[in-house]
């Protein structure tokens, strides 16, 4: 070794390959090489200055995944590394000719203790807990953590996952954004939500780290003026935020866009929507009975998240692409949404007939005699979509046809008409009225391969007084760490 070169070997006594390599380790120690032991500073025997790394901090600093590992540093920078025992490579990296000449040529190593799940959390917290800025809460020994969180109002009525330091740190590994970066200002309290705060609530909701980029994008979309989260909270109507994920990330993180796409049973679908709701509650202060003034609400306000069926194409672009996002990328679209209303049509074999079925159900959104006032979403299943595709209808064509079918006779919508007091003010009813404003009907594609059923999901107040669909691109998800 030159004066600017250093060598380090990391070993553990519980590794048969390290035991076999002990004679070579003694040769290296005599040459001044640093020997680091993860589990027993008396191993290897016969070496005076073995570095005690039972805390694993040195191993973590070196990013050791296998023992034995020999690392060479040149001018303070790692220049080569060899994992397991490889006689030729150890001689090459150490620069000691004939090192371990009496030993086998090769032996695979063992897993580093830094990867032991029983110790990984402790190590992670010891190394990085100082990077977290959030207030720590210590529970008494007699407190049940689930009950304690519920009593403090941090949940949504269902049990939440305690956001320990280790869990929050692992969640943050799902993004390369800095923990203290402000993602958005969350209404109604207009509180800045940092990446760390979003991560904490993602843990509470039960997310995995690879979901975090989707949650971050959803928070960004929810806190725009266009989506108007504050207004959506304060309304007495049923609606809450619906998160729709489009693009390859949906399948990368295991979302369900097929059978029961709008239902239960998938962790990503369930927890991403729940995380957004918990952020609005815990960061923004939007709580039922407080700013949330819903008369009845709907079960979707626990969580409402699903994925669009890929792949989209130019004839049937996904909703995020329609709102301007990159067709090759992934995005979330947030829409104000009430409950799911099914459409059954097992007989239509032409797009004209099926579009009329859709229009009949869409006309009933909010109230059959209200026009322009409320938005809606249409979720088309694969079997219904096939009818349109086989006839050469594009998504744009369907949207045009629905607009025509949903141009309503104003005289029938007027207050008092048809013996119903509810309806449009008389002044608006001199001609025809569109059921939905421009941009007020979003169309998604999802669902299982069997069943000629689609769904209408009513929205909320349209236009500047209400909420508009908003899309945001999703950053690249970091690989799952465990």
The predicted-structure confidence for 436-459, as pLDDT tens digits, reads as follows 999 999 999 999 989 999 999 999
Q: Which of 275, 264, 184 shows the shortest CA–CA distance to 230?
A: 184
Count other Cβ atoms within 10 Å, centred on residue 341.
15
Whether 476 shows a pLDDT value over 70: the answer reads no
Q: What is the pLDDT of residue 349?
A: 96
Q: Which residue has the higher pLDDT, 121 or 39?
A: 39
Cα 302–chain centre separation: 16
Dihedral sign computed on CA atoms, order 198, 204, 206, 209:
positive
CA distance 384 to 273: 26
Counting residues of the chain whose pLDDT is more than 70, the rounded percentage is: 98
Q: Which of 82, 75, 110 shows the shortest CA–CA distance to 5?
A: 75
When pLDDT is cut at 50, 70 and 90, the band that residue 477 belongs to is: low
Counting residues of the chain whose pLDDT is more than 90, the rounded percentage is: 87
When pLDDT is cut at 50, 70 and 90, the band that residue 480 belongs to is: very low
CA distance 459 to 232: 10
Tell me what the pLDDT averaged over the chain comes to. 94
Count other Cβ atoms within 10 Å, centred on residue 463.
14
Whether 1 shows a pLDDT value over 70: the answer reads no
Locate all alpha helices (DSSP H) within 223-305, ordered by sequence: 229-234, 249-252, 267-282
Q: CA torsion 158→163→169→173, rounded to 10°? A: 0
What value does the mean pLDDT take over residues 67-90? 96
What value does the mean pLDDT take over residues 183-190? 96
What value does the mean pLDDT take over residues 142-155? 91
Q: What is the pLDDT of residue 205?
A: 98
Q: What is the pLDDT of residue 227?
A: 96
At 318-339, the pLDDT tens digits run: 988 888 888 888 999 999 999 9
Contact, 454 vs 381, CB < 8 A?
A: yes
Q: Which of 186, 223, 227 shows the shortest CA–CA distance to 460?
A: 227
Cα 262–chain centre separation: 17
Q: Which of 170, 189, 192 shows the shortest CA–CA distance to 181?
A: 192
What value does the mean pLDDT take over residues 462-472? 89
What value does the mean pLDDT take over residues 17-30? 96
CA distance 243 to 135: 29
Q: What is the pLDDT of residue 118?
A: 86
Whether 481 shows a pLDDT value over 60: the answer reads no
Whether 267 shows a pLDDT value over 70: the answer reads yes
- Choose the weakest-confidence range: 272-281, 322-331, 344-353, 435-444: 322-331
Contact, 216 vs 195, CB < 8 A?
A: yes
What value does the mean pLDDT take over residues 196-215? 98
CA distance 346 to 265: 26
CA distance 161 to 295: 29
Phi, psi dihedrals of residue 12, rounded to the nearest 5°: -145, 150
Whether 293 shows a pLDDT value over 80: the answer reads yes
CA atoms within a 13 Å half-sphere pointing along the CA-CB vector of 127: 18
Whether 363 shows a pLDDT value over 70: the answer reads yes
Whether 230 shows a pLDDT value over 90: the answer reads yes
When pLDDT is cut at 50, 70 and 90, the band that residue 2 belongs to is: low
CA distance 293 to 234: 5
Whether 479 shows a pLDDT value over 60: the answer reads no
The counts of H helices and E strands in the chain are: 17, 21
Q: What is the pLDDT of residue 482?
A: 35
Total-model pTM: 0.86
Contact, 176 vs 189, CB < 8 A?
A: no
């Amino acid at each position: 070794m030159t004066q600017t070169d250093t060598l380090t070997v990391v070993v553990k006594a519980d590794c048969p390959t390290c035991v076999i390599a002990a004679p070579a380790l003694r040769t290296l120690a005599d040459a001044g090489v640093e020997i680091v032991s993860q589990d027993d500073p008396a191993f290897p025997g016969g070496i005076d200055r073995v570095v005690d790394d039972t805390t694993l901090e040195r191993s973590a600093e070196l990013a050791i995944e296998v023992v034995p590992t020999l690392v060479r540093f040149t001018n303070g920078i790692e220049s080569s590394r060899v994992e397991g025992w490889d006689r030729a490579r150890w001689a090459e990296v150490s620069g000691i000719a004939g090192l371990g000449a009496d030993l086998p040529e090769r032996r695979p190593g063992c897993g580093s203790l830094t990867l032991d799940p029983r110790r990984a959390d402790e190590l992670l917290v010891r190394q990085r807990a100082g990077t977290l800025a959030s207030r720590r809460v210590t529970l008494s020994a007699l407190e049940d953590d689930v009950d304690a969180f519920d009593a403090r109002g941090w949940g949504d009525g269902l049990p939440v996952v305690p956001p320990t330091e280790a869990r929050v740190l692992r969640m943050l590994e799902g993004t390369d954004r800095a923990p203290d970066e402000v993602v958005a200002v969350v209404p109604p309290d207009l509180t800045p939500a940092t990446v760390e705060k979003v991560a904490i609530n993602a843990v509470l909701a039960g997310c995995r780290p690879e979901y975090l980029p989707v949650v971050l994008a959803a928070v960004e979309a929810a806190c725009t003026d266009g989506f108007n989260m504050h207004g959506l909270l304060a309304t007495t109507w049923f609606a809450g935020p619906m998160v729709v994920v489009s693009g390859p990330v949906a399948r990368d993180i295991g979302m369900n866009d097929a059978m029961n796409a709008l239902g239960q049973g998938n962790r990503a679908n369930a927890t991403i929507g729940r995380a957004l709701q918990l952020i609005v509650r815990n960061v923004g202060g939007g709580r039922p009975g407080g700013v949330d003034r819903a008369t009845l609400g709907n079960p979707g306000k626990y969580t409402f998240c699903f994925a669009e069926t890929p792949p989209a194409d130019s004839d049937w672009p996904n909703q995020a692409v329609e709102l301007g996002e990159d067709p090759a990328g992934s995005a979330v679209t947030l829409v104000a949404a009430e409950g799911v209303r099914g459409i059954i049509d097992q007989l239509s074999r032409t797009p004209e007939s099926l579009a009329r079925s859709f229009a009949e159900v869409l006309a009933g959104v909010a109230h059959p005699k209200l026009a322009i006032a409320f938005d809606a979403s249409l979720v088309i299943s694969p079997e219904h979509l096939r009818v349109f595709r086989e006839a050469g209808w594009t998504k744009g064509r369907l949207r045009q046809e629905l607009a025509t079918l949903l141009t309503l006779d104003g005289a029938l919508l007027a207050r008092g008409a048809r013996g119903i007091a509810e309806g449009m003010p008389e002044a608006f009813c001199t001609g025809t009225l569109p059921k939905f404003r421009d941009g007020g009907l979003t169309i998604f594609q999802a669902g299982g391969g069997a069943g000629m059923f689609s769904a209408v999901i009513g929205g909320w107040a349209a236009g500047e007084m209400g909420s508009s669909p908003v899309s945001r691109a999703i950053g690249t998800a970091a690989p799952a760490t465990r």
